[in-house]
Amino acid sequence: MLGLMLLMTHQALGGDSLALIGGNPGPEFLQALHAAGAVGGPARTLPEEADILFYDPAGNPLAKAAPETLEKMKRLLGKGGSVVFLMSGRTGDLEAFETLMPVTLWAAQAERHLRLSTGGTVPAGAPARLASALRTPGFQLPGRYDLHLPYSTMEGGQHRYEWERLGKPLVNTDWRLLLAGDRDGLLPLLVEGRYGPGRVFVFAGDLYAPGLAAWPGYGAFVGALLDEARPRPLPASAAEADGVTVAIPAWQASGSLAVEVTNGTASAFNGVLFCKVRNFSRELMNSVSIEVSVPAGKTVQVAVPESAAAPEREIAAASPAADAAPFRRIDAGLSGLDRQKVVSVVSGLVDCTPALTLSVQGEDVRAFPEKDHWMAGGNNFLSGNGMPLGRSFAFCGERPKLSIRFGNGFHNIAPLAVATDLAWPENVSAQGLNDGSYSYESVRGKLPVTGYWAGRSAEAQKIRLAWPAPVTVARQALSAQTPYRGWDRANPPRYALAAEVPGGEKLLSLASVDPAVYVSGRREDSFPPVVASACVLTVSGLDAKANLEPRALQGGTFNCALGEWELYGWPDRNLPPSVKGKLTVTVRDLSAGTVKTLLEKTLFLDAAAETALTVELPTLDRYGQVAVHGEFVPDDGGAPVATDFPFLFIPPDVPHLLARSTLGEAEAGMLCSPGFLVGDEFGLGTLDDTQGWGGPDDQPWAWQNDLVEMGSRPRDSAGRFFLSSAGISHYTDPWRSFPSGRPVWDWMTDGLLAKFASGPWKGKTSIHIGLSDRWNGVPIGAAFSWDDLVRFDQSLRAAGKPGLQGRTKAELCDDVTSHHADAFQRFELATYSDALLRSQERFARAGIRMTTETHGSFPLAGGDLGSALAKTGNSVGTDLFWDLHDEDLYKSLGYRFGLVAANPDLESGAYGQWGWISGSLANPTWFAPSGDAEPSRRQWYATYWMGRITSDGTYRPYTVYGFSLQGGYGVKNTMADWDAFNRVENEMIWTRPEKAVGFGLVVSWQLQENRMGAEAGYLGFGLYAAKQYGQLDATAGEAYHRLVRNGVPFGFVASTHTLRKWNGTQPLLVVDGFDTDPWEIAELERLNKAGAPIVAVGSEGRAGHREAEAFFGVRRTEGGWTAVDGTEVVPDAAGRPFAYLRRRSGAGPTLFCPKPVASIDGAESALLAALCLKAADQPLSLTPGLTVTPFAANGSLFLLLGSQRDDAVLAEVGVRPSLLDPSFKGTAFRVIDHDRGVVVPAQWDAAQGTLRFRVPCAGNDGRMLQIIPSS
């Protein structure tokens, strides 16, 4: 195009030179390469002459030479070659090359992260040859890894901490999706990116897999991939960018972004502009390269696409955190057309705020009293922050007030400045002054980021904000601290604010305050508009010897802090014009459809000014959402400015989540070896305080009393700490006896009761005991101390059985695990349960109610032992966040729901955690996990609205109490993050599920006990099956995640025991239901005759289950399964029998899939889900890639959608309300999107008896949809 001479590389003269390193390329692959004219094959080293490298970490001879291999790859890419990364195994070995890739491998760090099989879909704009290959039916990748492009909301929150690593180098650009899966989240299978002049491809699975290679289109697919990877010709010569510069205009409010390229040379410049675009929180939005042509001595503006997902943003907006702060960060650099040398690299922050701004703010939540121990309108994550979190819900009968703020050339411009602590220039926390975050969390020194500023103890502090060009300032706001834990003592007690005026030598005084008074930790100072190049805040009146909280950094002493230093005005010395126009504020009752005008007013506003008005909302007398809409229309015909604010009204007597604080007037928390101090504040003479997971007093004390975990395999060794077989720091076991024979928990109860008799709890009548790490349930797999073995041996002999055989500890452990595993588990769990019941009885005799909470552990225990545990266990927590199974939300939830189903009488508590959406990303900073609002909202919607059927046949919400906290919150959380969290948490507290809706997930505790055996499988907190069987919770989890991903609407869990008193007609999916006992089959048949569809998945395949055979209409034979009595045989894609569907007059359908759940692949999962929905008469249909949790509350049906997709989608939903809940009859319904605060247009499809609507959903987002019967 530019008429440059091209250097022809040698592939034009012959074939491409390839190197295949690692993996197991089969003959089909090699044949396809050679058919395409390629030269080369498998290699053990990377030859310098290679043009294309296929690199698979499995069996890779270069795995231990990653640094050298990386440099060779860069040289290959530097000459225009390509690297194709494959993922057949050992994916962790690819992390060394992430800097080259268009993806980051946090979701594919281990082979256990491998997902189910998938088909393929070609996205719009993909290469024609690739699309042609995929038109050959049969593409099926046996397994895939989750790939996310770096601007996915799944990793966006972590970019706030690690933007450089996750956002890739400047020359890593132009990421393109070439192939996606056809199920789950339709995530990428093949991604292309540019690295300098070369190209990098990542394939999300095993390209050499025999199953894939057998596909008739395989050769064409490999040829199409090779065609894309073929090196492009490089320019024979290219002008370097020396003498050409890049500038980033500081204010760009036109809705598009641009950079300026200036050619200061005497020759025209043709080259490449590399750009990264991030939001203010540093989350990547685009990574692009653009060819530019600049005449000599000229400047051109180059448009830079703000987002790589621009079409999707038109469907659904990006993260609120991304758009709440209207700033964009741009990194840019130039190279010649050869893309070799990048120069003129610049970074800039762009203010995209328009001149006219309009916002709605709710009342400060801290101004309202608690209701049933909940803050009325906001929640307790505020701590000591001085941030004004706005109320977004009220109780029926209230008339809440809203503040309407309209500004002209008036917004917070502090983020555009560079913050400096003048008294301590090296202070890293200075960046927390103007970072837009309102968070006092800490990454504990792991990264140089803080959300606030703290000054090193001195008599005075001096901080400065300096702008790159003059601005206009007119107001200061200090977000400091509240009296929480005395944090307000670190507020600036008196201060002087001054401006550095352009061209002036003296500071201009703007405000002098003595004393400084704060309202809920915040104060403002207004002054006439002033042009300034910097502002300086000098704080005085401090105690130089004080060491006060909060402390932003580890080590040192601090005596002053600020959460945020805001300066309002305009990002230029030249102000926009004054404005006159009409402001209108209305409120729409979304349930009734009525609209009321709250305010109409003509406004005149000068520049650098803001006006605030107050409106009062009319109340509602019922549960419902309203939407406030504000709009200002200028008289001069300029563009209107508008804003919307959803607001929820709740009846004050509605069933709601119970506050955890109501469980006990007194609380005790026990963690690792420091937990023993709760019972006895002993000391051994050391000076160090015991903290965290153990200290110098409690650890030796625990060892001395033989209270250290002991597994069945580790043996005593002098190389271990104090001869124990495990490191002691985190592994104590309090659920055994002292050497004297006295149970530890009895001793602990003595200590707790003493505090009620004469200690700090005297006069109180209840206690809630939080059992955290190592106290949260008996670790049966680590209960092999001499004490455990002796007591178990005694129990065997007391029951008239032979005792343990063997004399050494190793022999005794082997005897337990080989011949007594079932009895040993029951003994240990009964010992644990009896200890808690004895304690509860002793407290009761003293007039004290006792409950316990297990943090992070939910016992796998039903039956009599499960009932005993339920008598003491309240607010049981499960570790969804730290222990996220295989980086998979839905698998993690399935395993958890399986535990709940085993014993639905246990009441679960909720974690008030937000932003912890990935173990790989967040666990290293678990005390401050950082995640975007979309996946955080989806996580809550998928988790906390499930129900359960208890032993009396009653429906109850799965989650009863809230909130515990697993970790902390994000250091860089913005007000938009807190608002999103607050809205979801308020919905979770006050909108609770009231009855069973959708499918029930059912397990058999009887079957679990039947499968227990003398030889141990897994041993943990509960009763686990023998090693030849899968565990109940895992099997339920495998079934749940396979089906919920494909649109099956699970709404509750149950055990076959609890079904005995259940009379619902909702469809039930019974895990391993065919293998259950005759009495269980009888209960299923009773419900089926009442109309409930029954689905059974999985079977051992043993003959003789006559009752099950008769119920499901099948017979087990030596050759497999045979359908009887007109049962329909449903084949899989290969024509083999897959499932058996039976319909009988006067009963619901039955569906039986005998294939073991864990062996059902991706295609079969989709087929099974379709059959489940068919058996239930198609209650729901969804766009692929979405999940749904249904529930009913407040006379409405709710659907909680969850997107598994990275891209935004206009989701199509079809629902038959009466099939999800028989009480929702009729054909007239109104659909409300609670997250957006809008009515969703819906139509009744009379032919299908289905309500149909479409709702926009951003990538990985959650949606709460309310369906209201209307007349």
Please give the full DSSP string across 532-575, using - where no structure is assigned. Answer: EEEEEEEEES--TT---S--SSSSS-EEEEESEEEEEEESSSSP
Does residue 321 surpass a pLDDT of 60?
A: no
pLDDT bracket for residue 966 (50, 70, 90): confident
What's the angle, vertex CA 290, arms to CA 286 and CA 293, rounded to 5? 150
The pLDDT, as a whole number, for residue 11 is 37
- 278 has which bridge partners? 284, 329
> According to the model, what pLDDT value does residue 721 have?
45
**CA separation for the pair 262, 336 (Å, rounded):** 14
- Cα–Cα distance list, 825 to 22, 855, 858 (Å): 45, 21, 16
User: What angle do the packed helices 809-819 and 821-845 form, to 10 degrees?
Assistant: 90
User: CB under 8 Å to 839, separation ≥6 — which residues?
Assistant: 745, 746, 748, 749, 850, 872
964 phi-psi bin (left φ>0, alpha ψ -120 to 50, beta other): beta
Query: What is residue 899's predicted lDDT score, i.e. its pLDDT?
Result: 92
2 has a pLDDT exceeding 70 = no
Specify the pairing of strand 82-85 against strand 52-55. Answer: parallel
Average pLDDT over residues 463-486: 96
Task: For 38-66, give the secondary structure using H, E and C.
Answer: CEEEECCCCCCCCCEEEECCCCCCCHHHH
Helix (H/G/I), strand (E/B), else coil: 995? strand
Please give the structure tokens belonging to residue 831: 């010992």
Burial of 44 (0-12, 13-18, 19+ CB in 10 A): exposed
The strand pair at 1128-1131 and 1137-1142 is best described as antiparallel
Per-residue CA distances from 1216 to 121, 592, 1158, 1246 (Å): 29, 22, 31, 11
The count of residues in the chain is 1271
The pLDDT value given to residue 436: 93
Strands 1196-1203 and 1262-1269: antiparallel
Residue type present at position 1028 = Q
CA 257 to chain centre: 30
> What secondary structure letter does DSSP report for 368?
S
Q: Does residue 61 have a pLDDT over 90?
A: no
pLDDT of the residue at 379: 64
- Among 450, 650, 471, which residue's Cα sits nearest to residue 567? 471
The helix (run of H) or strand (run of E) holding residue 757 is: helix 744-757
Average pLDDT, the chain: 91
- Residue entry with tokens 């690299």: 345
CB 118, CB 1162: distance < 8 Å:
yes
Specify the pLDDT at position 1082: 97
- The domains located in the chain, with CATH, are 6-235 (3.40.50.880), 244-353 (2.60.40.1710), 357-408+577-650 (2.60.40.2550), 411-570 (2.60.120.260), 999-1176 (3.40.50.880), 1182-1269 (2.60.40.1180)
Structural contact between residues 989 and 657, judged by C-beta atoms closer than 8 angstroms: yes
Q: Is 968 helix (H, G, I), strand (E, B) or coil?
A: coil
Predicted confidence at residue 398, as pLDDT, reads 94
How much is the pLDDT for 43?
A: 87
pLDDT at 716: 56
State which H helix or E strand residue 990 sits in.
helix 975-990
For 729-764, the pLDDT digits (tens) are: 667 889 989 888 899 999 999 999 999 998 889 999
The answer to whether residues 946 and 1050 touch, using CB atoms and an 8 Å cutoff, is: yes
Enter the pTM of the model.
Answer: 0.95
Dist. CA 1263–CA 1255, nearest whole Å = 9
Tokens coding 482: 């509240």
Tell whether the model's pLDDT for residue 724 goes beyond 60.
no
Answer whether the bond into residue 515 is a cis peptide, omega within 30°: yes
- In what helix (H) or strand (E) does residue 131 lie, and over which residues does it extend? helix 128-134
Percent of the chain with pLDDT over 90: 76
Instruction: Report the candidate in 91, 82, 87, 85 with the shortest Cα–Cα distance to residue 110.
Output: 91
**For residues 410 and 1, which has the higher predicted lDDT (pLDDT)?**
410
- CA–centroid distance for 173 within its chain: 26
Q: Hey, which bits of 803-861 come out as E strands? A: 849-854
Answer for the pair 1035, 1086: CB distance below 8 angstroms, yes or no: no
**Secondary element (H or E) of residue 814:** helix 809-819
What does the pLDDT read at residue 710?
82
Task: Give the CA distances from residue 430 to residues 250, 453, 497, 540, 562, in Å, rounded to whole numbers and listed in that order.
Answer: 22, 5, 17, 18, 10
pLDDT, position 378 = 62
CA atoms within 13 A on the CB side of 921: 30
The pLDDT tens digits of the residues spanning 632-642 come to 999 999 999 99
1268 within 8 A of 1195, measured Cβ to Cβ = yes
Residue 45 has a pLDDT of: 87
In whole angstroms, give the CA distance from residue 437 to residue 412. Answer: 13
pLDDT at residue number 9: 30
The packing angle between helices 218-229 and 27-35, to 10°, is 50
Examine the pLDDT at 873 and tell me if it is beyond 80: no
Q: What is the mean pLDDT of residues 197-208?
A: 97
CB 427 within 8 A of CB 641: no
Q: Does the pLDDT at position 1124 exceed 60?
A: yes
What amino acid occupies position 401? K
Q: Mean pLDDT over residues 271-298, rounded?
A: 96
Summarised one tens digit per residue, pLDDT across range 1216-1250 is 999 999 999 999 999 999 999 999 999 999 999 99
- At 780, list the tokens: 């049966």
Q: What is the 3-state secondary structure (H, E, C) of 1207-1258?
A: CCEEEEEEECHHHHCCCCCCCCEEEEECCCCEEECEEEECCCCEEEEEEEEC
CA 290 – CA 308 distance, rounded (Å): 13
Q: Tokens in use for 669?
A: 């928390």
Closest CA relative to residue 441, chosen from 1098, 981, 851, 832: 981
- Would you say 1059 and 1084 are in contact if contact means Cβ atoms under 8 Å apart? yes
Q: Tell me the pLDDT band of 316, cut-offs 50, 70 and 90.
A: low
Give SS3 for 718: coil
Instruction: Round to whole Å and give the CA distance between 1127 and 1117.
Output: 16
One-letter amino acid for residue 875 of the chain: S
User: Is residue 3 scored above 70 in pLDDT?
Assistant: no
Mean pLDDT of 655-684: 86
Question: Residue 1074: its pLDDT value, please?
Answer: 96
Place of tokens 């709601």: 656
Please count the other Cβ atoms lying within 10 Å of the Cβ belonging to residue 201: 22
3-state secondary structure of 287: strand
Q: What is the pLDDT of residues 398-448, one digit of tens each?
A: 999 999 999 999 999 999 999 999 999 999 999 999 999 999 999 988 899
Q: Please give the residue that has the higher pLDDT: either 444 or 1139.
A: 1139
pLDDT score for 310? 55
**Strands 188-195, 198-203: parallel, antiparallel or unpaired by DSSP?**
antiparallel
Residues 793, 801: Cα–Cα separation, whole Å: 9
Check whether the bond before 963 is cis (ω within 30° of 0): yes
| Among 320-329, 485-494, 695-704, the range of highest mean pLDDT | 485-494
More confident residue, 6 or 1045: 1045
Q: Are 89 and 114 in contact (CB under 8 A)?
A: no
**Beta strand pairing status for 766-771 and 418-421?**
unpaired
How much of the chain, in percent, has pLDDT values that exceed 70?
94
pLDDT for res 682: 66
**Stretch 155-163: mean pLDDT:** 96
What's the CA gap between 186 and 338, in Å, rounded?
Answer: 35
Q: Of 387 and 1173, which is predicted with more confidence?
A: 1173
Element (H, E) at 595: strand 595-605
pLDDT at 108 over 80: yes
Q: Which two tokens stand for residue 748?
A: 């602990």
558 strand-pairing partners: 456
